[in-house]
């Protein structure tokens, strides 16, 4: 398969370990275009309407999304978990500079084995980490285990179905990011992450195979980044469909049953 093809998923399972990358993630959110993407993620989570209790952010990185949610929801306690020690350190530092008032915990742990009791959390979120998970179904089932009955989930990640503009942007990132940084750090760039993303159908199949309660897979792209979300159903949420071929995203509502597409997802996982 050609490097430039997005037809098949190419896994990028790993922690984001190099210290310098943790630093770059900390800086990149200050770029206005990127900041807008994160604000969209935060808005999507806030629309679920969870205002009290405990929220867990899986693969929190520098903690930007979890911290913003904590700032806007003063009655939520925040746990931001990451596999990479440098990320956890940076999230801890970032949170200390904000007004979270000790409402944040930043453990280093693997999302495949969550260190929380059954039914102990009100909301589990994750942004741009799903494509790093080697066993996504195991993590979805862990989320289902730790959510209290009626708890909500919101998982956003790159969608391997870019529009033409999004695809060109991704190709343009190869000489700018993948070649200089990827080869130097022994790590992929933005394009490699996009190749590791799921299509809407693959994400629907994953959700259908998991123990998570009924949810919705929907496109929430910006003009330059194709994004999909897997989230608890929220009828009040307005779903945007720019950049993806699926005409009516509400048709993507998925029931928590086995489906033919489950096979597609398991084949799509590396
Ligand atoms: C692309 S970064 C995204 C960080 C942050 N959520 C954001 O949106 O800026 C993905 C993060 O997931 C973490 N990660 C990857 N696999 C993980 C796992 N199995 N358990 C916990 N964290 C993981 C990586 O270390 C990295 O910090």
Measure 59 CA to ligand 1 centroid, in angstroms.
3
Q: CB of 154 closer than 6 A to ligand 1?
A: no
For 11, phi then psi, to 5°, come to: -65, 145
CA–centroid distance, 247 to ligand 1, in Å, is: 30
b/e map of 180-196 (b: 16 or more CB within 10 Å)?
A: ebbeebebbbbbbbbbb
Q: Is the CB of 89 under 6 A from ligand 1?
A: no
User: Would residue 30 count as lying in a domain?
Assistant: yes
Give the mean pLDDT of the chain: 84
225: domain CATH number is 3.40.50.150
Tell me the best of 15, 19, 107 to mutate to test the pocket of ligand 1, counting ligand atoms within 8 Å of each CB and taking the most.
Answer: 15
Cα–Cα distance, 199 to 182 (Å, whole number): 24
Domain contains 4: no
CB of 145 sitting under 6 A from ligand 1: no
Residue 79 and residue 125: Cα distance in Å, rounded? Answer: 10
Using a 6 Å cutoff on CB, does residue 26 contact ligand 1? no
Establish if 165 belongs to a structural domain.
Answer: yes
Find out whether the beta carbon of 104 lies less than 6 Å from any atom of ligand 1.
no
Decide if 154 is inside a domain.
Answer: yes
Per-residue pLDDT for 85 more than 80? yes
Has residue 100 been placed in a domain?
Answer: yes
Sign of the dihedral defined by the CA atoms of residues 125, 130, 132, 138, in that order: positive
Number of domains in the chain: 1
Indicate if ligand 1 lies below 6 Å from the C-beta of 139. Answer: no
Residue 14 pLDDT level (bands cut at 50, 70, 90):
confident
Q: Ligand 1: does its nearest atom lie under 6 Å from the Cβ of 60?
A: yes
- CA of 82 relative to ligand 1 center, distance in Å: 6
Residue 1 lies in a domain: no
pLDDT grade for 115, boundaries at 50, 70 and 90? very high
SS (HEC) of the chain:
CCCCCCCCCCCCCCCCCCHHHHHHHHHHCCCHHHHHHHHHHHHHHHCCCCCCEEEEEECCCCCHHHHHHHHHCCCEEEEEEECCHHHHHHHHHHHHCCCCCCCEECCECCCCCCCCCCCCEEEEEEECCHHHCCCHHHHHHHHHHHEEEEEEEEEEEEECCCCHHHHHHHHHHHHHHHHHHHHHHCCCCHHHHHHCCECHHHHHHHHHHCCCCCEEEEECCCCCCCEEEEEECCCCCCCCCCCCCCCCHHHHEECCCCCCHHHHHHHHCC
Higher-confidence residue of 155 and 250: namely: 155
pLDDT of residue 234: 57
Pocket lining: 138 vs ligand 1, CB cutoff 6 Å: no
The rounded Å distance from CA 164 to ligand 1 centre is 27
Domain containing 52 equals: 19-268
Residue whose Cα lies nearest atom 27 of ligand 1: it is 61
Tens-place pLDDT, residues 214-268: 999 999 999 999 999 999 975 444 443 333 333 333 333 333 333 333 333 333 3
Tell me whether residue 219 is in a domain: yes
Q: Is the CB of 265 under 6 A from ligand 1?
A: no
Ligand 1 centroid to residue 129 C-alpha, Å = 5
């Amino acid at each position: 398969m050609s490097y430039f093809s997005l037809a098949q998923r190419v896994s990028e399972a790993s922690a984001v370990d190099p210290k310098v990358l943790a630093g770059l993630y900390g800086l990149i959110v200050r770029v206005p275009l990127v900041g807008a993407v994160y604000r969209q993620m935060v808005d999507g989570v806030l629309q679920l309407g969870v205002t009290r209790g405990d929220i867990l952010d899986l693969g929190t990185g520098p903690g930007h999304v979890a911290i913003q949610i904590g700032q806007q929801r003063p009655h939520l306690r925040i746990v931001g978990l990451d596999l990479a020690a440098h990320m956890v350190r940076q999230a801890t530092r970032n949170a200390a500079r904000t007004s979270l008032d000790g409402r944040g915990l930043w453990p280093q742990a693997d999302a495949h084995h969550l260190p929380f009791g059954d039914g102990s959390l009100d909301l589990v979120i994750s942004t741009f980490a799903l494509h790093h998970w080697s066993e996504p179904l195991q993590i979805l089932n862990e989320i289902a285990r730790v959510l209290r009955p009626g708890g909500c989930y919101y998982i956003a990640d790159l969608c391997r179905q870019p529009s033409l503009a999004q695809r060109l942007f991704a190709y343009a990132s190869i000489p700018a990011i993948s070649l200089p940084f990827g080869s130097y750090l022994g790590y992929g760039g933005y394009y490699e992450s996009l190749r590791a993303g799921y299509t809407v159908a693959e994400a629907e199949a994953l959700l259908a195979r998991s123990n998570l309660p009924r949810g919705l897979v929907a496109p929430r792209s910006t003009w330059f980044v194709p994004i999909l979300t897997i989230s608890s159903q929220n009828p009040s949420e307005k779903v945007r469909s720019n950049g993806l071929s699926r005409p009516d995203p509400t048709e993507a509502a998925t029931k928590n049953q086995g489906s033919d597409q489950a096979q597609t997802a398991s084949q799509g996982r590396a």
